[in-house]
């Protein structure tokens, strides 16, 4: 009995030694790769302030709120987020809107479409000077989208005129995009990034916001990170020393790939195991003597 307990304590202790990697490999089911990183100093500092891992939920932060990330497409360099306050075909609910931070290295993909719902025809600035095309905020080509959305049960119940809907395309839908629904005098909004091949079936649209990101000015994936990730490491950038480093599965940081540190660190990993096993045997021996 005592022996068993001792074994399990030793094992737990040794297991904790082995998993000392600072940077997270994934958050929930979303794998983390450069430029994203969770853990102190992990990933690219330019991106650190915008993502966060709450338990097993990866979230995207802006000044308007915190939004669950549903997927990251590293090849297309896009992240997909949902806003729990936005409306879909299944649910219409009030929202304050959505905004991107001015300094964020993110922008909307061309597929992302915002639709303002339940806007006040009398007071909403989006309709003011409606005939005046000098500042078109609502896309007239988007009226079919409004029709489809207003045909959804959750919205059709409200019996609102279709003119209270606006497919929102302000001139600058770029960084620092601000959709303040209170100012715009609308009660809710919907966003989606794909018709999912069925434009006339709003129930199946892919609701959410797709954002693209740029790694650096030239937007090329650092060669160092490719090598680091190939060797099972997590690529990060240290702003203080303006240099990349690779956080290896053993916890060691290297300025090359983890292949080079593997053989060296294996020695260190095996040592505590051997010491542990040795101690377990001695203690088991002592325990046996005491109980005799």
Ligand X SMILES: *[C@@H]1O[C@H](CO)[C@@H](O)[C@H](O)[C@H]1NC(C)=O
Q: Interface residues with ligand X (CB under 6 A)? A: 22, 40-42, 129, 131-132, 134, 247, 251-253
Q: How far is CA 266 from the centre of its chain?
A: 33
Decide whether 24 or 167 has the Cβ nearer to ligand X. Answer: 24
Of the pair 41, 68, the CB lying nearest ligand X is at 41
The smaller minimum CB distance to ligand X, of residues 127 and 192, is found at 127
Return the number of the residue (129 or 174) whose C-beta is nearest ligand X.
129
CB atoms inside a 10 Å sphere around CB 220: 8
Minimum distance, C-beta of residue 239 to ligand X, in the bound complex (Å) = 10
Looking at beta carbons only, is 107 or 229 nearer to ligand X? 229
Report whether 168 contacts 179 (CB < 8 A).
yes
Cα gap 279→268, rounded to integer Å:
17
CA distance to 136, 151, 153, 186, per residue, from 133 (Å): 5, 28, 33, 21
Nearest distance from C-beta of residue 43 to ligand X, angstroms: 10
Of 267, 258, 269, 247, nearest to 17 by C-alpha is 269
Give the three-class secondary structure for 139: coil
Q: Which two tokens stand for residue 37?
A: 């990183």
Q: Among positive and negative, which fits the CA dihedral 229, 233, 239, 243?
A: negative
Dihedral sign, Cα of residue 106, residue 107, residue 109, residue 112 = positive
User: Which C-beta is closer to ligand X: that of 11 or that of 268?
Assistant: 268
Q: How far is the CB of 51 from ligand X (least distance, A)?
A: 16
Cβ 231 vs Cβ 246: under 8 Å: yes
CB of 101 to ligand X, least distance (A): 24
User: Closest Cα to residue 93, out of 189, 184, 191, 180?
Assistant: 189
Q: How far is the CB of 127 from ligand X (least distance, A)?
A: 10
Closest approach of ligand X to the CB of residue 33, in Å: 16
> Given the complex with ligand X, which of 16 and 75 has the nearer CB atom?
16
Q: Do 87 and 189 touch, CB atoms closer than 8 A?
A: yes
Closest approach of Cβ 39 to ligand X, in Å?
Answer: 7
């Amino acid at each position: 009995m005592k022996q068993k307990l001792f074994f399990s304590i030793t094992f737990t202790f040794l297991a904790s030694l082995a998993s000392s990697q600072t940077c997270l490999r994934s958050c929930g089911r979303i794998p983390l790769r450069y430029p994203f990183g969770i853990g102190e100093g992990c990933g690219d500092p330019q991106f650190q302030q915008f993502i966060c891992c709450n338990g097993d939920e990866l979230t995207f932060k802006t000044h308007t709120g915190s939004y669950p990330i549903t997927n990251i497409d590293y090849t297309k360099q896009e992240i997909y987020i949902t806003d729990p306050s936005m409306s879909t075909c299944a649910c219409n609910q009030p929202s304050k809107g959505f905004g991107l931070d001015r300094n964020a290295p993110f922008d909307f993909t061309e597929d992302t479409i915002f639709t303002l719902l339940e806007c006040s025809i009398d007071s909403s600035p989006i309709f003011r000077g409606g005939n005046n095309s000098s500042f078109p905020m609502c896309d007239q080509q988007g009226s079919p989208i409004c029709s489809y959305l207003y045909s959804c049960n959750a919205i059709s119940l409200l019996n609102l005129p279709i003119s209270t809907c606006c497919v929102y395309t302000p001139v600058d839908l770029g960084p620092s995009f601000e959709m303040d629904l209170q100012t715009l005098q609308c009660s809710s909004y919907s966003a989606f990034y794909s018709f999912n091949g069925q434009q006339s079936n709003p129930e199946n649209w892919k609701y959410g916001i797709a954002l693209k990101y740029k790694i650096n000015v030239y937007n090329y994936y650092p060669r160092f990170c490719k090598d680091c990730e190939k060797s099972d490491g997590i690529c990060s950038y240290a702003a203080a020393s303006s240099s990349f480093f690779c956080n290896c599965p053993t916890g060691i940081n290297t300025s090359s790939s983890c292949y080079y540190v593997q053989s060296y660190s294996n020695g260190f990993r095996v040592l505590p195991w051997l010491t542990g096993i040795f101690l377990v045997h001695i203690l088991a021996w002592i325990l046996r003597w005491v109980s005799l």
